[in-house]
Structure formats: structure tokens, C-alpha cells
Structure 1
Amino acid sequence: MNLKYKIMNEEDFEGCAYELIEAFKEEPWNEEWTFEQAFTRIDEIMSARVSRGYVVYDGDTVVAMACGRIMTYIDFKELWIDEFSVNTLYQGKGVGSKLIEFIRNELKKEKSKISYLALNTERDYPCVSFYENNGFRASETNLVMFANVDYKGNN
């Protein structure tokens, strides 16, 4: 493996879209992303001035990526990671952990003083232990909630 860790730019979106498709098509996700859907998701996440993205190449192939947005609160900022994925052929080889380390190092260089990394993931999925091993912990106070757009007061 000849891995290169770098800050994501628009030229990386195509390779990142293919990597997202590969990373999430297997168990436990079994997601069927089209190229257009994956590319659009990455493009949307990366469309703001507060967006940040990071990518790992093995030669000319994207094998891992992360992208999200810097969010400001009263007394701190965090990088909210909207997508984090590692190609299944590269999982368990330290690529994801090194990507998180790369992200932390890049954020330390910024003047925006980001205090935290944050993300959502599915409970009881294998990725939970990966994130815990890389310093993440589950919030005891926060709860993710969602509602349908056509909410009419009925469940």
C-alpha cells in the first residue's frame, strides 16, 4: 500500500463517490448508492465555506474519505462528520484510524480552534467499537430525533 492522506478538493469528489458506494454496499449497511447519489451527497456536504474534507489515496484510487462541517456553539466548535468511510478491502488495516489522526492534525493547524469531532452512527454496528477505539464516546445527553416533512401531528 502506498497511501497518501490529503485535504479533499473538488477534483476528489468523483473518486470519493465511488469509494462511498463500495464502502456501504456490504454488511451491515447493504446500501445501494448510485454514482449520482453518492456524488451529490459529497458535493452537498462540501458546498459551504465551513465544509472540510479529507481523503486517502492508494495510488490513483480513493480508499477512504471523511467530510463534514465546522459547527459553532457558544464556547466551542466541532467538526461534525457527515460521511466517514473506508473501502472494505482496507478496513482493519489502520487506514481509518490514521485518517482520524490526519484530520485531528489538520484541524490543529486551523485558527478556528475546533474542540471536538462529532458524528452519528448506527448502534450495535461494528463501526461503534472503531470509533470508541479512536477516542469517540456516545453522548449520554443527546438524542437524535427526526420527523417526516409531511408531519400532521400523527405518528
Structure 2
Amino acid sequence: MFVSVFRNPPWNENWEIESALNRLKDFYNMPYSHSIVAILEDRIVGFAIGYIEIWFQGKSFYLKEMCIDSTRQRSGIGTKIMDVLSQNLVSQNVNKIYLLTARDSPASAFYDQCGFCYNSKIIMMSKTVQ
């Protein structure tokens, strides 16, 4: 599901199954990893995975990946995953969730509807190394 969702627009990422599994296993094996899986008719139709981090302000959750089956998007599954994730994190004294996503994408619109906002104090920077 991860590979097929992220190969399509707006992401257009060329994931192989092995590298996708390794990425998700890395997050699963992180200390304080936390994930939510949505199952419908004995099939995974969505998930969210990330990990809890300690900050000077308390505990934060870094949402590394969230994915909903392409045929099930806009059906409420993502919202339900986010609601359950938030409830679970509150019970673990987490006071903030943060994530990275593509600007002006359907995903950013979804996160906006879930109450996320842009943080003017933080920017993402990258550097290609060779």
C-alpha cells in the first residue's frame, strides 16, 4: 500500500518494496515508536507511524509516515487514525505532534483540517552530499 500510494501524484516517489519496508521497520524499531493501523475487511487500509521525543517543553510526537489506501482516501479513515493517535498520545503525556509534508498538497490540506498549522519558527533545510 505504501509503495502504491507514494508512487502516485502528488508524491511521484519511486519506492521499491524492500526499501519501503526497511524505512517503516526503522520507525517501528525506534525507541518510543507508536503506530496506528486501520483494518477494514481483514486488509490494512491506512496507518500512521512515528515516535515520541523528549523536548524541554515536554514530550512531542514526530509523525514520520501516514498513508491511506488510494481507493479509501477522503472516506474518514485518515481523520479517525489521527483522532485515535491523538487520544493515545495524550494518555502518554505527549503535548505536541509535528510532521513534514509537501506544501500546498492534499496532505497539507488534510493536516490543516485536523488542526495542524505552519510553524513560522522552523524551516526545513536540506543538502545533497556526494
Question: Normalising by the residue count of structure 2, what TM-score does the alignment of the two structures yield?
Answer: 0.93
Residue aligned with 2:60, SS:
strand
Deviation track 1:16-72 (CA, whole Å, cap 9, x = no partner) reads xxx211221211112221110111000001112211111111122111111111111
Gaps of 5+ in 1: 1-18, 151-155
Task: Report the structure number with the largest CA radius of gyration.
Answer: 1
Instruction: Point out the more displaced range, 78-87 or 28-37.
Output: 28-37
Q: CA deviation at 1:108?
A: 2.4
Q: Counterparts of 1:22 and 1:98 in 2: how far apart (Å)?
A: 22
Corresponding residue for residue 16 of structure 1: none
Which among 87, 90, 96 is matched to residue 116 of structure 1? 96
Corresponding residue for residue 38 of structure 1: 20
Q: Counterparts of 1:34 and 1:65 in 2: how far apart (Å)?
A: 18
Q: Counterparts of 1:50 and 1:78 in 2: how far apart (Å)?
A: 11
Which among 119, 125, 128 is matched to residue 145 of structure 1? 125
Matched length: 130
Which among 68, 72, 76 is matched to residue 86 of structure 1? 68
Structure 1 position 96 matched with structure 2 position 78: yes
Q: Counterparts of 1:75 and 1:131 in 2: how far apart (Å)?
A: 22
Instruction: Point out the more displaced range, 140-149 or 123-132.
Output: 140-149
**Structure (1/2) with the larger strand percentage:** 2
Corresponding residue for residue 111 of structure 2: 131
Q: Counterparts of 2:96 and 2:45 in 1: how far apart (Å)?
A: 24
Q: Counterparts of 1:20 and 1:143 in 2: how far apart (Å)?
A: 26
Corresponding residue for residue 27 of structure 1: 9
Q: Counterparts of 1:82 and 1:56 in 2: how far apart (Å)?
A: 17
Structure 1 stretches of 4+ with a deviation exceeding 4 A read none
Q: CA deviation at 1:134?
A: 0.3
Q: Counterparts of 1:38 and 1:85 in 2: how far apart (Å)?
A: 12
Q: Counterparts of 1:21 and 1:27 in 2: how far apart (Å)?
A: 12
Question: Normalising by the residue count of structure 1, what TM-score does the alignment of the two structures yield?
Answer: 0.79
Instruction: Point out the more displaced range, 88-97 or 139-148.
Output: 139-148
